[in-house]
Structure 1
Amino acid sequence: MGNSLKRILLLGLGWLCVTVGFIGIFLPLLPTTPFLLLASACFMRGSPPIAQWLHQHPKFGSIIYNWHQYRSVDRRIKLRANVFIFLSFSLSIFIVPNIWQKVMLAVLAMILLIWFNRLPETTSVSHTSKNTEQGGK
């Protein structure tokens, strides 16, 4: 695959992820953070200036900074994610008809919650991404 085609695909995927992540701010069951991290990865390979813009964004920059710098998630985002993971899996378990599906969803929810809650946390000292205290390691 040529460099220009690869760059176009990375840029397209990056902007798609930014769009879905932005929509996730308003739709409670759609996660924002994973899409922003994927967008960041695409932009770092496809367009470093756009990646820099995303990393310096007033709302999204701290999420990406904490992940790239510390491999950690902000405590507020983690709490919100836990609530929505629990609610979405509970709704799914309630909706599916078969017991094996309910058990599978419950097991997946437990695995996801255990993995997610083991990630280190950062606590923002101020609203800038540069001022964080790392905890939970």
Structure 2
Amino acid sequence: MRRFTLLLGFLFTGLGFLGSFLPVLPATPFFLLAAYFFSRSSPRLEAWVLNLPQVGPVVRDYRAGRGIPLRAKALATALALLGAFLSLLRLPHPLAQALVVGLIAYGVYFIWKKVPTKTPTGQGR
């Protein structure tokens, strides 16, 4: 099981780095998953993810229950909606379109209703 979680950690780390360069693919959720799987398999790699300069503070804040900044929520929502729009243009099947809309809607709901918004004082509300 340790090897499987290590493999998943590497997979999500790779997707996270890919998301850092592709505007439609979010990076942070993949790094959150990578940190989770590395916590189950390799404390050294978990520490590495937590100490990445751009992503580490966001992952640490999320884990501590402080949430994510309002700006990050707005950016994630805008990119998700852009991705959904582009997908709807390219997907010919109505069932696939409905699936994309449903997944994006749940993601946006989760970001705004389930994840606390980090305030300037560092506390989630």
Above 0.5 in TM-score? yes
CA-to-aligned-CA distance 1:71-106 (integer Å, 9 cap, x gap): 612323212211110101111222333555545544
Q: 2 CA distance for matches of 1:24 and 1:9?
A: 22
Bigger CA radius of gyration = 1
**TM-score (normalised: structure 2):** 0.82
CA-to-aligned-CA distance 1:10-64 (integer Å, 9 cap, x gap): 2222122111101101101112111111111111110112212221222221111
Structure 1, gaps ≥5 residues long: 1-5, 126-131
Q: What does residue 110 of structure 2 align with?
A: 115
Percent sequence identity over aligned pairs = 32
Q: What does residue 22 of structure 1 align with?
A: 17
Deviating 4+ runs (over 6 angstroms): none
Tell me the SS of whatever aligns to 1:79. Answer: helix
Q: What does residue 45 of structure 1 align with?
A: 40
Structure 2, gaps ≥5 residues long: none
Task: Indicate the RMSD between aligned Cα atoms, in angstroms.
Answer: 2.2
Tell me the SS of whatever aligns to 2:123. Answer: strand
Q: How many residue pairs were aligned? A: 124
**TM-score (normalised: structure 1):** 0.76
Higher-strand-fraction structure: 1
- Of 25-34 and 90-99, more deviation after overlay is shown by 90-99
Amino acid at match of 1:9: F
Q: 1 CA distance for matches of 2:57 and 2:32?
A: 11
**Are the equivalent residues in 1 in contact too, given 2:6–2:41 (CA < 8 A)?**
yes
Q: 1 CA distance for matches of 2:11 and 2:94?
A: 36
